[in-house]
Amino acid sequence: MSKKITLLAGDGIGPEIIAEAVKVLAALREHGELDVVLESGLIGGAAYEATGTPLPAETLALAQNSDAILLGAVGGPQWETLDIKVRPEKGLLGIRSALGLFANLRPAILYPQLVGASTLKPEVVSGLDLMIVRELTGGIYFGQPRGVCRLEHGERQGFNTLVYKESEIRRIAQVAFTIAMKRDRRVCSVDKANVLEATELWREVMSEVAAEFPEVELSHMYVDNAAMQLVRAPKQFDVVVTTNMFGDILSDCAAMLTGSIGMLPSASLDQSGRGMYEPIHGSAPDIAGQGIANPLATILSVAMMLRYSLDSPAQATRLEKAVGAVLDQGLRTPDIYSPGTTQVSTGAMGDAVVEAFIHTPG
């Protein structure tokens, strides 16, 4: 039976990079390697403009009835002054929450061809392969109460709540340890247990779950130190598991180790493995429409989708190899360009990956 994929292009460079991912999916379909039906929905600022809400009910229904979702990016300066409840980002947070996508996997892998594109010294980053497991539907992003109130003397006060239930910590821990079992069997849990009670509990529950995985070595690190260690000696990490907000921040940092945030894919999974796939970068409104965005993070998100939701691990590996082949050919979008390589457009990069994919043996 055909698998259904919902495409949510969103805003800024979203439509351009999704178009390149669609080329890859179309090639898979044409070559009889994947039986998929693609359907498109509105999200973010684009959805707000068309319907008055960043997450229309039709979009949610489409997503709920699909096997996987591929998302571009949301947001832009024109919506920054809107009420927070209808801002584009609410669409993204809303779909993550409504679909129960609590486990966000953000692999940071440095392609050897891009060692020179990283701002860090080659010896610090070459061979980097770490996995950030970010809790995605809890913590301060969703905690209640939240808002801005007026104090008695009239001054305004903003407040958010960092809250984690034991069960929320336990399930993300289980995901992290399970992934570590297939890797180097090391998990570093990042918290701020020296200051925040919620993450003191996080640390305790992580240690409890570790007992179920005796072959995995668990360490704990405070988030400030983790940020420093990520740029000092990132190869010390195998799997990093952390809260929603710390994971948001640390994954941008890890992305830059790989040369460009334009290279990093992600998967957001629910309890049963159904997922939404998206590049970790934003909508980059400053470069939208110019044909210079890097589509590789989105194409690599398709590879994650093939692996985790479409039961096609061989195609996933081939697609990742095709990306490597294109980098070997010296093709670079501006964000990963270095002297001696060839600068190409978003579309040319997508075409090159499709071409390489077709010629990559299965």
The binding site for ligand IPM (CB under 6 A) comprises 75, 89, 92-93, 248, 280, 282
Residue whose CB is less far from ligand IPM, 12 or 259? 12
Q: How far is the CB of 247 from ligand IPM (least distance, A)?
A: 8
Amino acid at the residue 63: A
Residue 278 binds to Mg ion (criterion: CB under 5 A): no
Q: Could you give the angle at which helices 296-308 and 313-328 cross, rounded to 10 degrees?
A: 160
Distances (CA, A) of 293 to 46, 264, 282: 19, 13, 11
Shortest Å, Cβ 361 to ligand IPM: 34
Toward ligand IPM, which CB reaches closer, 97 or 343?
97
**Residue 248 in contact with Mg ion, rule: CB under 5 A:** yes
CB contact at 8 A, 143 and 161: yes
Return the residue matching tokens 């509990």.
201
Measured from the CB atom, the residue of 16 and 248 that comes closer to ligand IPM is 248
CB atoms closer than 10 angstroms to residue 81: 7
For the chain, the first-to-last Cα distance in angstroms comes to: 22
Print burial letters for 27-55: b (CB count within 10 Å at least 16), e (below 16).
Answer: bbeeeebbebebeebbbbbbbbeeeebbb
Choose among Mg ion, ligand IPM, none what residue 89 binds, the Cβ cut-off being 5 to 8 Å by kind.
Answer: ligand IPM
- Strand bridging mode 217-222 / 129-135: unpaired
Where does this chain touch Mg ion (CB under 5 A) — which range of 161-169, 226-234, 241-249, 287-295? 241-249
Least distance in Å: CB of 171 to ligand IPM? 18
* Active centre residues (catalytic): 141, 192, 224, 248, 252
92 binds, among Mg ion, ligand IPM, none (CB under 5 to 8 A by kind): ligand IPM
Distance CA 268, CA 286 (A): 26
CB of 75 vs ligand IPM, minimal distance in Å:
6
Q: Which is nearer to ligand IPM, 93 or 115 (CB)?
A: 93
What residues line the site for Mg ion (CB under 5 A)?
A: 248
